Chain A
Amino acid sequence: MAYKRQIDRLPIPPKNAKVHNVTCHYCIVGCGYKAYTWARNAQGTAKDNAFGVDLGKQQAADGTWMAPSMYNVVKQDGKDVHLAVVPDQKCVVNSGLGSIRGARMAENRPSKVTGTQQQRLSDPLVWRNGVMQPTSWNDALDLVAQVTARVVSEGSEDDLVVSMFDHGGSAGGYENTWGTGKLYFESMKIKNCRIHNRPAYNSEVHSTRDMGIGELNYQYKDYELTDTIMIVGANPLETQTNLFLNHMVPGMRNGAKVIVVEPRRTVTINAAEEVAGKENVLHLQINTGTDMALFNAILTEIVDKGWVDKDFIAKSTFQSGIAQPEDAAHPAALGSLEEALKACRVSLDEAAGICGVAPTDITKAAAWIAEPIDGARRKCVTAYEKGIIWGNDNYRTIGALVNIGLATGNIGREGGGVCRLGGHQEGYYRPSDAHVGRPAAYVDRLLISGRGKVHHIWACDHYKTTLNAAKFKQAHKRRSDMVKTAMDNAAGGTREELIDAIVGAVNAGGLFVVDVDIIRSQIGENAHVILAACEASEMNLTSMNGERRLRLSEKYMDPFGNSKPDCLIAAGIAQSMERALRDLGKGAYADQFKGYDWKTEEDAFMDGYNKGNPAVTYERLRSMGNNGVLEPVVGFENGKLVGTERLYSNGEFGTGDKKARFCVAGWRGWQAAGKEAEQKKFKFWINNGRANIFWQNQFLDQDNDFVQDRFPFPFIEMNPDDMTEMGASAGDLVELYNDNGATQAMAYPTPTARRGETLMVFGSPAGSQGNIINPGVNELVLPDYKHTWANIRKVADAPESAKAISFKSKEYLSS
């Protein structure tokens, strides 16, 4: 029986409710919402309310409605207040649409009144007497700083390993990336660091940037103005929901054709067929990992048909030979179209043999992308995401895709763009990371091999979201347990004795772990100090979405307990480090930790982002509301910030000579170590992906009844015949195992899945798909999460909670 809320009435926000601008802090799209708060003893009426509509009448479709998930009772300025977080009809991003993630923002706020999200951390915790004990900020920060200061000054800064988010939204954003960035890249020069979702500090899209093309170069409106939408390795209806519904769907209704490059059938393809008609949707169902061969064939066809944009190529792209040779930092050479073609040129038959797509479909795709319409340029917007970012040969594959956009002049122009769709919002503002180097350190491998002595973790849970996770967990736990034992043995002693015990343990191979998070994460179980962070809605936060739309998402409630914004925690660590280093007699080093006198997140914003973008202030952003401004901001005129609709609209690109480069993207089969052998050895391809219902690794959703009722266990979509063969029925628990480890999932019969091809939801707390992903990465340490092969066996009949749920097709049926 499905979860019933048993709610049939909600309080009505009064006309004088306070209203705050909110950008949804989950996915990259960043939908606009309004947060209404009002006193506990006040209410509006059907006729007189904050929404300004007659609530005594049934609202029409698309009308304003507060669902129960949009309501809660939270603390504001120390008082319990009613809260409603409702989609903003006037925001151009979502036009009043809510997603299954964002429309639950209110109920995913922590509330002692309604009991929601009681997993949130309210205070710092330290390992003491065999358990995590609450403590004061001073005590926790002092312990972090004393241990860290001893280790980096007795050894080097390379002994401090840092895992830190680099995203916007959630607890990210310009304020918080600056706080951590200033600490680790300015006060220190930490090079053994990694990002929340990958084992190194690197770009997910190095090649497009090296080609001179930033990965977010269009605006969402371009989908409404284009002739063709090309989607590669992405499932936007599921994961960028309102970009699909509010921009791609209108584009299709305006006549755009749709090409989807994807080895499986998705809800996006199904919905596109519904809207555009099957005849206008081309699903190129490739063999997994062969995207580059397909892109090269499309490019070859476009060139041979003469559909390239000759003027654009002449004016805006590098003309003579190789601009950047292939080397350790560049997995492919970059240069002119002519040079690129020497490596990219491939016959239709050869490409078809590699990627499994019929030659006629390749030529059809090329025509839909590039064949001029009545002699004029055909507009095509190209969107890609994890399918190739976390796929085979990241650098060359993304380069090969961008080559098509460049050759057809579809970058920087109306209805064009070659862009990643994105996961989180963006919100990166940090001092230079040049000291990290390229290729960057493979941090997971470093930790597994026993290197590093102190590990600072900022809102990352590698237990759920890294590759080779089974091995990583074993090493991380073993090493952190050494320190726990040392701390237990020092119980009852002085602070000096405790620090000595910890330093002794890390010098003997242990790892001192500091975890900054909003909840107790799985990797946080290894922590010796946990620092309680707050997130968007409990602090002011600036981020930009997938079209570079910068907004200020306003604080409308108190942080939970004594939790703090990450930027202020970083400042606290810096100030404690300064004291600790001075106590160690390292005065000059201590001086590097000055400059953190921030009282608020706005202070951190002014210290960082504002210094690089002086026109942008909180006050101005607040007045720009939920529509914000498209970055880069180029001025402030008539009381408004002036932004940039599209990048490169003047035909000048982000290279020294302003000329874009083509990627010499020669196909070379499986790039990452171990993939080819694994494919041969194991029966099933274990693809991974996201589900719209979960945000990220379910960190808040694991405590959300509606979500957990739908999927009590991580699902794996399997062909029903494959299930029958192993004696598994819907909802049964299966084990996935290979030479890297094992994990567990719940079988979801999916007739559209090809035999031997599966999809497991990524990042689940109840089954980490990363356990079975091999450690293979590309030359720049980008993981190939998408390519794992394993065997599967049934381990248990469907538990009661799984028996109660629906296993019907996720695809919309019109009749």
Chain B
Amino acid sequence: MSGCSKLVDIGRRQFLRRGTMAAAGLATATVMPTEQAEAAPANAQIDYPSNRLANVADVKVNEPMDIEYPDADSPGALIKLGQAVEGGVGPDGDIVAFSTLCPHKGWGLTYSSKDRAYNCPGHFSRFDVEAGGQQVWGHATQNLPQFTLRVDEKGDIYAEGASDLIFGRPSNVL
């Protein structure tokens, strides 16, 4: 038994270490007296909606398309870069999508087509969409949340997840 418990503990620690810190629900999932209400099970991972954003034929190089994901209160952009990047989808492997709320203080970012970066008019931070949304310079403590994309056989682009927490919410899916 002690060996078992230890394994559980190690598992929990590995789970918490650096990765997805979805702590909610874990602590209650232990042995319960029968009279008490059953603990509500919660999945460790968020279920993201699969939302169709556009068709690959709709997106033009260096012309971001406004999107909303995972819901209408979370603005983002779908961008075709013209050259393949890691995480890019579509026939050319060059389509990416990001949240466009600055992860510093939530200001709406503006796109500079000149050097393909998002800029924050609030506090001057900037993010490079050609480098996975890396903050080039600024005050945010994370890079720009990047949406996970999938393209189906018809060329429709779906968003189905996010790499980082979106500004202004404790959970990406509210």
Chain A residues close to B by CB (< 8 Å): 1-12, 40-41, 43, 46, 55-63, 65-71, 73, 82, 97-100, 103-104, 107, 113-116, 237, 241, 245, 267, 270-271, 274, 692, 705-706, 709-710, 804-806, 808-815
Contact = CB atoms under 8 A, between A and B. Distances in A.
B80 interface: no
A40 B126 CA distance: 36
Contacts of B173: 8
B104 to A, nearest CB: 7
Given A43-B24, A271-B124, A806 B131 contact: yes
Given A9-B46, A55-B170, 12 more contacts: A8-B171, A9-B172, A10-B21, A10-B170, A43-B23, A58-B74, A63-B106, A67-B103, A68-B21, A97-B105, A114-B18, A808-B115
A67 B124 contact: no
Most buried by B among A41, A62, A65: A65
23 contacts: A2-B131, A6-B163, A7-B165, A11-B23, A12-B24, A59-B169, A61-B106, A61-B107, A65-B167, A97-B105, A98-B104, A100-B140, A103-B141, A114-B17, A267-B137, A706-B143, A806-B136, A809-B115, A810-B136, A810-B137, A812-B124, A812-B126, A813-B117
A4 B134 CA distance: 9
B81 to A, nearest CB: 13
Contacts, number: 198
Contacts of A4: 132, 143, 146, 163-164
Interface in B102-145: 103-108, 110, 112, 114-115, 117, 119-126, 128, 130-144
Contacts of A8: 20, 46, 161-162, 164-165, 171-173
Nearest to A70: B141
Contact of B128 (A107, A115, A806): A806
B106 A62 contact: yes
Contacts of B115: 808-809, 813
Contacts of A100: 138-141
Contact of A808 (B20, B86, B103, B136): B136
Contacts of A58: 73-74, 168-169, 174
B22 interface: yes
A1 B24 contact: no
A287 B95 CA distance: 46
Most buried by B among A6, A69, A811: A6
A640 B147 CA distance: 51
Classify the interface of chain A: helix, strand, loop or mixed. loop
Q: Which 3 A-B residue pairings sit nearest by Cβ, starting from the closest?
A: A59-B168, A2-B134, A2-B132
Interface in B147-164: 161-164
Classify the interface of chain B: helix, strand, loop or mixed. loop
A274 B124 contact: yes
B139 A805 contact: no
B19 interface: yes
A70 B136 CA distance: 21
Contact of B142 (A63, A67, A813): A67
B109 to A, nearest CB: 11
B165 A9 contact: yes
B137 A692 contact: yes
Contact of B124 (A12, A69, A237): A237
B47 to A, nearest CB: 11
Nearest to B169: A58
B132 A10 contact: no
Contact of B21 (A11, A103, A245): A11
B16 interface: yes
Contacts of B108: 61
Given A61-B107, A67-B141, A813-B112, A808 B170 contact: no
A706 B141 CA distance: 8
A59 B124 contact: no
Most buried by A among B28, B130, B141, B170: B141
A815 B16 contact: no
Contacts of B110: 814-815
Nearest to A9: B171
A68 B120 CA distance: 20
A415 to B, nearest CB: 24
B87 A1 contact: yes
Contacts of B6: none
Contact of A267 (B114, B124, B168): B124
A97 B140 CA distance: 11
B165 to A, nearest CB: 5
A779 to B, nearest CB: 38
Given A7-B165, A100-B140, A61 B105 contact: yes
Contacts of A705: 18
A9 B21 contact: yes
A104 B103 CA distance: 13
Contacts of A7: 19-21, 164-165
A59 B106 contact: yes
A114 B16 contact: yes
A12 B25 CA distance: 12
Nearest to B72: A58
Contacts of B22: 9
B128 A812 contact: no
B174 A104 contact: no
